[in-house]
Amino acid sequence: MMVVALGAVVLSGCGGTGVPNAASVDTSKGKQLFTATCGSCHTLADAGTTGKIGPDLDSAYVGDRLIGMKDSSFEALVRQQIDLADPPMPRHLLKGQDADDVAAYVAKVAGVKLAQQYNPGSSPP
């Protein structure tokens, strides 16, 4: 029992896959990291990137926005994608705090403007 309990503590403390505490993420750093690390493959309007190798993240997430998916769910998805990506997207491009910052940033902006265009009555995030 003791060993199991210790293991859980170590896992939760090492920045593994999971939704980080909102207070501990820096989305402006996330934006810089996204532009430098992800933008060559992904289009994301807020970051001004136009990569075409991976999906356009605004289009990919607008549908989920419109049905009301929460930022925290997007964040978990993006964070998981960083760890578990399928080729050609490399896994673990970013780790720990950097990965958390990028996930929080993408969760905050991806598809938001498009969703507002489709559904102008929706309140800003």
Binding site for ligand HEC (CB under 6 A): 37-38, 40-42, 53-55, 60, 78, 81-82, 85-86, 88-89, 93-94, 102, 106
- Residue 77 makes CB contacts below 8 A (sequence gap 6+) with 107
What is the nearest approach in angstroms of ligand HEC to the Cβ of residue 55? Answer: 4
* Cβ distance to ligand HEC smaller for residue 1 or 86: 86
Judge contact between 57 and 125, C-beta under 8 A. Answer: no
Nearer to ligand HEC, 39 or 113 (CB): 39
Instruction: Using alpha carbons, list the distances in angstroms from residue 18 to 9, 42, 72, 99.
Output: 14, 22, 10, 11
Rank residues 7 and 52 by Cβ distance to ligand HEC and give the closer one. Answer: 52
